[in-house]
Amino acid sequence: MEVNHRVSKEERAMPTIQPTLEIFDKFISITNELVKLPQLILPEYRTAAQGLYEITQKMLIANENLSRWLYKFLYFDFRQQDARTKFFDLIRDYRTMKQGPEFRQLKFSCGDISTIYYRDIESKLGNWLTDQTKLNEARSIFKDLSSIDGSLVSFTYDQVVKALDDAINDIETQVETDAMNEAELRRLQAKADMKVITERLEAFAGSLSELVISFANITHTPVTIGQT
């Protein structure tokens, strides 16, 4: 299914985020068309179908890695027993993550996507899509996805992670002084401020999950715990 949405004033205020999300939308749209092609089950296209599986899985894993940390903080329960201690434990784990390889896994590698696309998929698109306009569109989408590393870094780290860091720092200050009501208010503010992003990430996760399952079925590949 294609991910459609009404552009909000929050998104219009995020010029770097918006083009990145548009590329994701276009990728999901064209890949939903490709997954329905009967040719994909033919032996000569198994490698290409496997490549599509790998690309969608890499994107899904990165999406879930980022979403997981967002939700840990945006849905943190300050009403739970020992909330103060648990919140500081969560901050410790988060900051440890940011110092290690997991931090890079909050986004997928555009270089990996490019390698898979040009090695396994690009030469097959002309056999699948007979309409030249649609073929050019598909090639353009994959090319964009393979070369958006700069805007993806800005989207993931400079905007999404920075917004989370700002909220965490504020909440940490309030929790340190046992101002738990103020901490809860700041959590809710962060959740509201990041509503556009969390909704879009969730929509992408649902669409990518469907694609991963579909390509796995087509290629008779067991779904495994992949690496970004």
CB atoms under 10 Å from CB of 74, counted, come to 19
CB atoms under 10 Å from CB of 42, counted, come to 12
Pick the residue with more confidence: 111 or 221?
Answer: 111
Q: Kindly report the pTM of this predicted structure.
A: 0.88
Domain coverage including residue 214: 17-218
Residue 3 has a pLDDT of 37
DSSP state of 157: I
Domain annotation covers residue 84: yes
Domain annotation covers residue 116: yes
Pick the residue with more confidence: 9 or 124?
Answer: 124
Helix 83-98 with 180-193: angle, nearest 10 deg: 50
Q: What is the mean pLDDT of the segment spanning 87-97? A: 98
Say if residue 196's pLDDT is above 80: yes
Residue 227 has a pLDDT of 56
Q: Is the dihedral of CA 191, 169, 12, 9 positive or negative?
A: positive
Say if residue 5's pLDDT is above 80: no
Helix 46-74 with 180-193: angle, nearest 10 deg: 150
pLDDT-above-90 percentage for the chain: 83
Domain annotation covers residue 223: no
Domain annotation covers residue 10: no
Domain annotation covers residue 157: yes
Domain count, the chain: 1
Cα→Cα distances 91→84, 85, 94, 95, Å:
11, 10, 5, 6
Residue 52 has a pLDDT of 97
Q: What is the mean pLDDT of the segment spanning 212-218? A: 96
Q: How confident is the model at residue 19 (pLDDT cuts 50, 70, 90)?
A: confident
